[in-house]
Structure 1
Amino acid sequence: LMSDRLTTRFDPGRVTAASVALTAAALFGFSFSTQFWVLCLWAMPYGLGAGTVDAALNNYAALHYTARHMNWLHGCWGLGASISPFIMSQALSSGHGWPSAYRTVGTLQAILTAIVTVSLPLWNKTRKINGGGSARLFDHVPTRAALATPGVPAVLGAFFSYCAVESTSMLWAASYLVSVRGTDGATSAAFASLFVLGITAGRFLAGFVAERISDRMLVRGGFITVGVGVILVGLPGVPSWVALAGLVIAGLGSAPIYPAIIHSTPTTFGAHNSQAIIGIQMAAAYVGTTLAPPLFGAISANTGLWTLPLYLVVLVIFGLVMSEQVTRRGRARAQDG
């Protein structure tokens, strides 16, 4: 939520470098923490850094790069999400303990901070090549004004829904497959991880076709594909491999939604509003990621894990409806010139 004010006062490159440095410091802080409350303290700068770099970098890419690059950017998130468990497992299996894993990732973040800092002149160069002009492009847009922009509540709903589906699927899919489908634990865990790999592979593949397919078509097709995958997961009386395949299909369908919504924001709401709105979108994404999995946990405690596909379908339908409202907003803005 502070990203627009920060990038207006400074510039995206400096904000990104400082934010990555903040997360690196927090990761080292985690690794040296011996009490839970200390971990909680370090979580605050870690969250501030992660949230700011998310919003600043996404807006910079949306303004200055193509849909192809946006999909590949988010595909790299999937690579990191896939590699990090291996770093932790290696640290644990080697006997060095979990702090070693955090120090390893903290070192990688420190190296990344140095790379971003050295590359700062390229950020302004990219702006000039792509017609962006100086580093401070637009005035600060207050959060209240951004929220009052027509279509913003709908895009926040779409973002909330997508991230709710993603996080709930990643955290609960394996439990559902074991408890409801009777799949063995190892297979269930493997296919739950394939959901993330499906997102990663799908984003790299989407990058090759994103220039030929509009952002709104990618979002619409993504939500529909996720819905199909979730329905396959929940179909009664079918072999377990159908549910496993449905999970992979849902992951592939999830791939283009996040980057396409981000990339379309300057076009839909105006480049002068995009940083503020993308910052709010990131906040909505984190709310969905944080609240949706425990909410399903509370629901399933009373109903059973079999309700997971129903829960996900409701979120998918809501996200699709909200995204279609955003599409109508974009068309109206295009007609108004």
Structure 2
Amino acid sequence: MSTTPAPPRASLLLLAYLAFVSLGLPDGLLGVGWPSIRTDFGVPTEAVGLLLTAGTVGYLTSSVLAGFTLARVGVGALLAGSTLLAGLALTGHALSPGLAVLVGCALLLGLGSGAIDSGLNAYAASAFGPRHMNWMHAFFGLGVAIGPLIMTGALSAGLSWRWGYGIMAAAQVAVAAAFALTVRAWQRGVPASADPGAVVGASASPAVRVPIRATLRLPAVWSGALAFALYVAIEVSAGLWAFLLLTEGRGLSATVAGGCVSAYWGSLFVGRVVQGVVAERLGGTLVLRVSLAGMAVGAALIAVPGPAVLAVLGLVVVGFAAAPVFPLLTLTTADRVGAAHADRAIGLQIGAAGVGAALVPAGLGILIGNTTVQVLGSALVVLALALIGLYELGSRRPGPERAGPGGSSEPARPDQAAQVGGEGHMVSGPVRPVVDGR
């Protein structure tokens, strides 16, 4: 029996990639489409906060619940139902007669997206290595990069912003159908435990039951959640307000600015493809430190007054540097909290990411509405420095021992030991034997 992790099934890996493309597509639409939406509905710029807040409520609710109920529901059924819900919500966006309905649809979209995000991350944290984990998240960047191009193309052709959401709705429904056809395939190798406190994912190891309060007592769970909130706040704020900065603040045309926003999300995609391989070879700690420093440098370029090209360069630097942060932090969750708590911790982290993705960009919208869009760069610098401080504070603490089933510190059991991928990179997830045909 080998302790080398079995490679993920090609069909499920491809579907996971496609799911993350579809997950990112709607995020890329709002930044470019919002000026047209607010004009159609006659609402102020800061009204985007209502959409972000509604989406966050749904996202937070479903992502946290997914982490606690994944073993009971099953990852395949969860993904199929959640993707269908997201498709219906996007259809509602395209047909919405006013802001109130749009807010309701944003809530439904958040419910679907949060469960997809949490479910896939929980599965991938134990089934994928650092390369595929980064590549899966890279396809999220690809989806967000395509979104602005679709919306920009629709608006440039004289079509309504509704066309962009309609196209996205069709894509989500197609992915939902693919998930529905592969429900049983996702369940292979998942522990047949009905206990929501069991370790789930792709592992064939026996389920470990832990009380919910044991997970919630771990400081590493909450510090990790805060790190996710800060990171996603930077990623989303840059993407959401970049279009307004480049048009109203730096004088670019709407078409050029839309392309630049796509370049930002595209750099996130390229960065994850490239740095997925780098992380396997150099280890996650070094890659994370360099990436966090790069985010601060890119934010500083955006903050410096100057020509539009400087802000565009800063956006690309932020996107490329930020690329591996989310997947690597997710991948090493079990190393910080223990395998028995990993699924719940991932759900909480994804939920915290949703909070950061809504509250901070919405707050920036209010700040921009009352001052100037030029404040975006300075805000990103502050957030990037705060994230660096939080990461360094956590990394200087003594290495956490594995939390046992009761939440007490105890050495990791052999079936919960971290796997080593590449040159010493710690990969979360239980060790399992190689199975022919896996």
TM-score range, shorter chain: 0.7 to 0.9
- Return 312-321 or 95-104, whichever deviates more: 95-104
Q: Which residue of 2 aligns with 1:133?
A: 204
Q: Which residue of 2 aligns with 1:200?
A: 269
Report the identity percentage. 32
Q: Which residue of 1 aligns with 2:215?
A: 146
Kindly indicate whether the alpha-carbon contact (under 8 Å) linking 2:67 and 2:122 is maintained by their aligned counterparts in 1: no
1:103, 1:110 → 2: CA distance? 11
1:298, 1:131 → 2: CA distance? 43
Q: Pairwise mapping of residues 32-51 of structure 1 onto structure 2 (< 5 A)?
A: 32-51=95-114
2:273, 2:167 → 1: CA distance? 26
Kindly indicate whether the alpha-carbon contact (under 8 Å) linking 1:141 and 1:273 is maintained by their aligned counterparts in 2: no
- Cα gap change, 1:126 to 1:219, in 2 (>3 Å): farther
How far off is 1:197 after superposition?
1.3
Confirm whether residue 263 of structure 1 aligns to residue 331 of structure 2: yes
How far off is 1:152 after superposition?
2.1
Q: Which residue of 1 aligns with 2:236?
A: 167
Q: Which residue of 1 aligns with 2:367?
A: 299
Kindly indicate whether the alpha-carbon contact (under 8 Å) linking 2:148 and 2:262 is maintained by their aligned counterparts in 1: no
- Cα gap change, 1:98 to 1:12, in 2 (>3 Å): same
Q: Which residue of 1 aligns with 2:297?
A: 228
Which secondary structure does the structure 1 equivalent of 2:236 belong to?
Answer: helix
2:243, 2:325 → 1: CA distance? 23
- Cα gap change, 1:36 to 1:316, in 2 (>3 Å): closer
Q: Which residue of 2 aligns with 1:122?
A: 185
Match of 2:284 among 208, 211, 215: 215
Match of 1:16 among 69, 73, 79: 79
- Cα gap change, 1:125 to 1:330, in 2 (>3 Å): farther
How far off is 1:199 after superposition?
0.8
How far off is 1:7 after superposition?
0.5
- Cα gap change, 1:108 to 1:239, in 2 (>3 Å): closer
The letter of the residue matching 2:295 is: V
Long gaps (5+) in structure 1: none
Confirm whether residue 315 of structure 1 aligns to residue 386 of structure 2: no
- Cα gap change, 1:328 to 1:111, in 2 (>3 Å): same
- Cα gap change, 1:164 to 1:131, in 2 (>3 Å): closer
CA deviation string 1:213-244 (max 9, x = no partner): 323333222111111112233345x6654443
The letter of the residue matching 1:51 is: G
1:162, 1:52 → 2: CA distance? 20
- Cα gap change, 1:63 to 1:325, in 2 (>3 Å): farther
How far off is 1:173 after superposition?
3.1
- Cα gap change, 1:56 to 1:326, in 2 (>3 Å): farther
- Cα gap change, 1:214 to 1:10, in 2 (>3 Å): same
Long gaps (5+) in structure 2: 1-63, 192-200, 403-409, 413-438
Q: Which residue of 2 aligns with 1:110?
A: 173
Kindly indicate whether the alpha-carbon contact (under 8 Å) linking 1:5 and 1:140 is maintained by their aligned counterparts in 2: no
Kindly indicate whether the alpha-carbon contact (under 8 Å) linking 2:94 and 2:163 is maintained by their aligned counterparts in 1: yes
- Cα gap change, 1:316 to 1:35, in 2 (>3 Å): closer
Cα RMSD (Å) of the superposition?
3.0
The letter of the residue matching 1:4 is: G
CA deviation string 1:295-319 (max 9, x = no partner): 2233345554443332212111111
Which secondary structure does the structure 1 equivalent of 2:203 belong to?
Answer: coil
- Return 38-47 or 5-14, whichever deviates more: 38-47
- Cα gap change, 1:171 to 1:26, in 2 (>3 Å): closer
Confirm whether residue 5 of structure 1 aligns to residue 68 of structure 2: yes
- Cα gap change, 1:197 to 1:178, in 2 (>3 Å): same
Kindly indicate whether the alpha-carbon contact (under 8 Å) linking 1:268 and 1:330 is maintained by their aligned counterparts in 2: no
The aligned length equals 332
Q: Which residue of 2 aligns with 1:85?
A: 148
CA deviation string 1:179-235 (max 9, x = no partner): 66x453455544333221111111111122221132333322211111111223334
Confirm whether residue 71 of structure 1 aligns to residue 134 of structure 2: yes
Per the normalisation by structure 2, the TM-score is 0.67
Kindly indicate whether the alpha-carbon contact (under 8 Å) linking 2:189 and 2:204 is maintained by their aligned counterparts in 1: no
1:140, 1:77 → 2: CA distance? 32
- Cα gap change, 1:120 to 1:320, in 2 (>3 Å): same
1:140, 1:110 → 2: CA distance? 36
- Cα gap change, 1:88 to 1:154, in 2 (>3 Å): same
Kindly indicate whether the alpha-carbon contact (under 8 Å) linking 2:148 and 2:259 is maintained by their aligned counterparts in 1: no
Per the normalisation by structure 1, the TM-score is 0.86
1:226, 1:17 → 2: CA distance? 35
Kindly indicate whether the alpha-carbon contact (under 8 Å) linking 2:68 and 2:347 is maintained by their aligned counterparts in 1: no
- Cα gap change, 1:308 to 1:32, in 2 (>3 Å): closer
Which secondary structure does the structure 2 equivalent of 1:212 belong to?
Answer: helix
How far off is 1:258 after superposition?
0.9
